[in-house]
A and B are shown apart, each in its own frame.
Chain A
Amino acid sequence: MGKILPRPVHASGPPARRTARTLATAAVAPVLALAALALVLLAGAGPALAQDTQGVRGTLNNAGERVEGAVITAELDGEVVGEAVSDAAGAFAISVPEPGDYVIKLDLDSLPEGVTVREEGGEEREVTVRPGAVSPALFVLGEGNRETTGDAERALQLFVRGLQFGLVIAMGAIGLSLIFGTTGVTNFAHGEFLTGGAIAAYFFNVTVGMNLIPATLCALVVGAVFGYLIDKGLWGPLRRRGTGLIAALVVSIGLSLVLRYLYLYFIGGSSRSYAQYATQQPLSFGPISIPPRDLVIMGLSTLVLTAVGIALIKTRLGKATRAVADNPSLAATSGIDVERVINLVWVLGTALAVLGGVFLALSQQVSYLLGFQILLLLFAGVTLGGLGTAFGALVGSLVIGIFTQMSTLVIPAELQNVGALVVLILILVVRPQGILGRAERVG
């Protein structure tokens, strides 16, 4: 087998959701078998064609309670092509005849008394179904009376979520910023480092069957080794050849394409979740409800980021790193082994990205686009704080994280990244050196 990971339909679900997943699979299995049979009869091809069946699945969950008996339909160009009723575990699956952009509708009248969608228009979802893939359709359910969540409470909730998002992207942004600071390389492949970490942890967690915590530690080792090798094997030789920074930038874009599509090649286009901690009953603190997992993520990120910060200020290696970032030639003259420092920065940067990737995947699921989707937000965070400054990257990421989440108060959620990118552009215009960066002539 050339694939690291099993196909989504056959993936064994996490324990908490295993029943749901098994039931969903049970519901899909006959359909798949029929479709496969039909295809075999029509095309005379082998059973491998079963993979070409595609569909939509999801789970209806109202604050931890599974919603049974809800009617979900799939429409293509206004015509209903599939229908499903959620089972006792709240799961539903619709298989569709062809790939395309489907509108998945939840029939509000079929929901139990007092349950409705959280947001207005939330009963309709646009889902792009790709050939042979099962795409997720998410419906956010909540209590019937929507007055309970006032604007202030919603803002507070989004602020906390933004803080968490900001801490997670800071893990990527600090590595990106350190690498830029010490080598001058704008690493467009950094998003793929996050994705790689999330996928490596998924491999140890689901395919190998370890608990997520040791699996993440294994992924960290893999990431550090990868960071070491990519510097020794690619960037180091390029530095010695005297490759220009623009050429290096384009090389990093090539690397990002290679990595991203290798991930797609091996794990396919669907999203997957980890075996543990994927769904949790949220804890309530006054108006804020937050799963314990997210609290741990925030705590751990703060801890790791503080440790990195202290190491940069206090330790000899940290000082050496800042010296190299400031002026490599001067650092080299004062006896610092610049190559070793740069190598260390790549290892550290990749390891941080791995951790950030796992944290991100816990809230967004593992997919091959996980890191690429936030790459520009990483750049926004780094630029906002000032390119090349580690602390600037932290501050900038927090601002970007909170901004993207809170902006959904006024703009549609699908446009939240647009807001952040517009801010990025404005920052570059008004203050290109960022919040904490030093003013210098930049052109």
Chain B
Amino acid sequence: MDFGVILQNTLTALLNAEALYLALAAIGLNIHFGYTGLLNFGQVGFLTVAAYGLGVGVTYLDLPFFAAIALGLGLAVLLALLLGIPTLRLRADYLAIVTIASSEVLRLIARSAALRDVTGGSSGLTGFADGFYDLNPLPNGRYGFGPIDYNETRAWLLIVGWSLVVLGCGLVFLLMRSPWGRVLKAIREDEDAVRSLGKNVVGYKMQSLILGGLFGALGGFVFALANSSIQPDNYSTLLTFFAFTAMILGGAGRILGPVVGAIVFSSFFTFLENTLVQAVRADIIPTSIMDSNQVGIVRFILVGVLLMALMIFRPQGIFGDKKELALDAR
């Protein structure tokens, strides 16, 4: 067992790309679920349209980088409108089914052979990230502190990404203590009461869906840029549930809940995977119980266990306030 490697990989994961895009996606989900009570199970759909907006914009439409980013954001707004107009009047479980179905539809369309020339079919897209990395002002070298250490391209992505997280959290903080945010929380607690006060509930829900979707879109950009490629099968419903688990873990309805949740989620599973890999390699765990292929699967099983345990025993997560958040609100 090489404890040094485990420790270093875990510490590196604290701020790495996975924690970053999960944090952005979870901030969006938190606006939907934590503040408005919208059960959006299709958050990955926003990541998909944004990533493909960027990828297709650069490679197929030959747009400059920022125009392609704008295209991705525009597509996310469009998706929110398309999803929201018909479904925001529906019951929460219907909204869950429609959003999860639409995110699968988007993935299946993106990977279809019919669109191979545009989206690259099942092998996805590459070669769209240069516009972003050309902006990198950092000279070649290693960046970090202590055992945490990134090269200049990763450091650039992380600086930009975490700045967005900080700005996003600030925005959410300001919005949620504004009258607008209080209406959202009131909708979460009792939609009919808000309607009886003459508020346009569906309109507020739509604004919340769009805002949260835009954070999802930022997560999609980070996800695509971190790998410098877009693989359609990475945009499956699993990603939604990872973000959802991260949000619940940190505490839904709290400004920093999703960010802390994403960081804990990502580093915990990196720690676990590295420990298991080392244990399998050192024959501490015999291969008849677990081989190197099975190590990666443990994460998915444990995410499921974690999600169940959190919902049953501590639905407010690490930071949440059980009194504030009635999880059965719509």
Contacts and interface: CB of A to CB of B under 8 A. Distances in A.
Contact of B287 (A48, A414, A442): A48
Q: Which residue among A250, A265, A421, A429 has the maximum number of chain B CB atoms within 10 Å of its CB?
A: A250
Contact of B97 (A250, A251, A424, A443): A424
A126 interface: yes
Interface residues of B, number: 56
A376 B104 contact: yes
A254 B308 contact: yes
B94 A442 contact: yes
Interface residues of A, number: 53
B278 interface: no
A318 to B, nearest CB: 25
A421 B102 contact: yes
Given A247-B327, A253-B241, A414-B108, A421 B101 contact: yes
Interface stretch (A57-65, A255-263, A291-299): A255-263
Interface stretch (B21-29, B144-152, B290-298): B290-298
A357 to B, nearest CB: 19
B89 A428 contact: no
A396 to B, nearest CB: 13
Interface in A23-82: 48, 51-52
Interface stretch (A211-219, A238-246, A325-333): A238-246
B301 A2 contact: no
Nearest to A264: B297
Given A2-B289, A425-B98, A245 B328 contact: yes
A86 interface: no
A254 B291 contact: no
B13 to A, nearest CB: 21
B243 interface: no
A376 B306 contact: no
B96 A186 contact: yes
A142 interface: no
A243 B297 contact: no
A74 to B, nearest CB: 15
Interface string A1-24: 111000000000000000000000
A254 B89 contact: no
B282 interface: no
A412 B114 contact: yes
B122 interface: yes
B312 A238 contact: yes
A274 to B, nearest CB: 24
B122 A432 contact: no
Nearest to A184: B93
A101 interface: yes
B91 A257 contact: no
Contacts, number: 150
A273 interface: no
Given A258-B304, A415-B109, A421-B104, A442 B293 contact: no
Contacts of B297: 261, 264-265
B179 interface: no
A257 B101 contact: no
Contacts of B104: 376, 417, 421
A418 B307 contact: no
A253 B307 contact: yes
Q: Which of B90, B244, B312 has the most CB of A within 10 A?
A: B312
A373 to B, nearest CB: 10
Nearest to A256: B304
Nearest to A265: B297
26 contacts: A2-B288, A3-B288, A51-B293, A101-B123, A126-B121, A126-B122, A186-B96, A241-B312, A246-B327, A250-B248, A251-B308, A254-B303, A254-B304, A254-B308, A254-B311, A257-B303, A260-B300, A264-B300, A265-B298, A383-B94, A412-B113, A414-B113, A415-B112, A422-B105, A424-B98, A425-B98
Interface of B: 39, 41, 86-87, 89-94, 96-98, 100-102, 104-105, 108-109, 112-114, 121-123, 233, 238, 241, 244, 248, 287-291, 293-294, 297-298, 300-301, 303-309, 311-312, 315, 326-328, 330
